[in-house]
Structure 1
Amino acid sequence: MPKPRALAVLVPLLLLTATATACGSEQGPGAAQAGTVDPGLPVSGTHWSIKAVTVDGRRSTAPADARVEFTEDGRARGNTGCNHFGAGVVVKGDTLTVSQDEITEIGCPGDRQRFEKELITAFSGPLTGILKGERFTLASADGRNGLELTSEPGAPLRGTTWKVDSLLSGTTAASLPAGSGSKARFVIGEDGRVTGNLGCNNFSATARVDGTTVTVEGPAATTRMMCASAEMQLETKLYELLDGPLTYRLDHRTLTLTAPSGEGLAAKATP
Structure 2
Amino acid sequence: MDTQRLTLAVLTLLPLVMACGSDSGDTGSAPAASGMSGVHWRVDSVTVDGTTLQAPAGAGAGLRIGADGTAVGDYGCNAFGAKAAFSGDRVELTHARQTLMACAPRLMAFERAMSRTLTDRSLTVRAEDGRLTLTARDGDRIRLTEEKDASLYGTKWTITSLRADGTATNLPQRATGSAYLTFDRKTGEVTGRLGCNHVTARATVRDGRITLGPASTTRMMCDASLMDTEKSLLRLFSGTATYRLDHRTLTLTSENGESAEAVAGP
Q: Which TM bucket (shorter chain)?
A: 0.7 to 0.9
**Identity, % of aligned pairs?**
37
1:187 offset after TM fit, Å? 0.6
Map of 1:50 onto structure 2: 43
Q: CA deviation at 1:143?
A: 2.9
Indicate if the aligned counterparts of 1:159 and 1:188 stay in contact, CA closer than 8 A: yes
How do 1:85-100 and structure 2 match up within 5 A? 85-99=80-94
State the partner residue of 1:16. Answer: none
Tell me if structure 1 keeps the 8 A contact 2:72–2:82. Answer: yes
Shift in Å at residue 116 of structure 1?
A: 4.8
Q: Name structure 1 gaps, 5 residues minimum.
A: 1-20, 22-30
Between the aligned partners of 2:257 and 2:106, the Cα distance in structure 1 is 29
Aligned residues: 237
CA contact (8 A) 2:63 2:71 kept: yes
Verify the 8 A CA contact 1:203 1:221 in the aligned structure 2: yes
Structure 1 residue 166 and structure 2 residue 158: aligned?
no
Q: 1:71: which partner in 2? A: 66
Corresponding residue of 2:207? 211
> 137, 142, 154: which is aligned to 1:147?
142
**Contact residue 94 and residue 128 of structure 1 kept, 8 A:** yes
DSSP 3-state at the match of 1:143 = coil
Q: Secondary structure at the match of 1:179?
A: helix
Is 1:257 aligned with 2:249? no
Counterpart in 2 of 1:197?
A: 193
Q: Are residue 110 (structure 1) and residue 110 (structure 2) matched?
A: no
1:10 maps to: none
Distance 1:209 1:123 in 2: 41
The 3 A distance-change label for structure 1 pair 89 and 183 is: same
Q: Are the counterparts in 2 of residues 169 and 264 from structure 1 also a CA contact under 8 Å? A: yes
Q: Give a deviation string over 1:99-143, Cα, whole Å, max 9, x none.
A: 3645567x7763685255554444312222222322101133323
1-structure distance, mates of 2:118, 2:35 = 25
Give the Cα separation in 1 of the matches to 2:89 and 2:209: 43
Q: Which has the higher helix share?
A: 2
For residues 221 and 75 of structure 2, what CA distance do their matches in structure 1 show?
A: 34
1:211 alignment partner AA: D
2-structure distance, mates of 1:252, 1:225: 34
Equivalent position to 1:229, from 203, 209, 224? 224
- Gap change, CA 1:249 and 1:239, over 3 Å in 2: same
Could you list the runs of 5+ residues in structure 2 that have no partner in the other structure? 1-19
Note closer, same or farther for the CA distance 1:195–1:100 as it changes in structure 2 (3 Å cut): farther
Cα gap change, 1:196 to 1:109, in 2 (>3 Å): farther
Residue 61 of structure 1 corresponds to: 55
Q: Hey, what's the Cα distance between the residues in 1 that align with 2:162 and 2:46?
A: 28
Residues 159-182 of structure 1 show CA distances to partners (whole Å, capped at 9, x for unaligned) of 221112223458865432223231
With normalisation by structure 1, the TM-score equals 0.73
Change (3 A) 1:182 1:216: same
Displacement, 1:53?
Answer: 3.2
Measured in 2, the distance between the counterparts of 1:135 and 1:172 equals 38
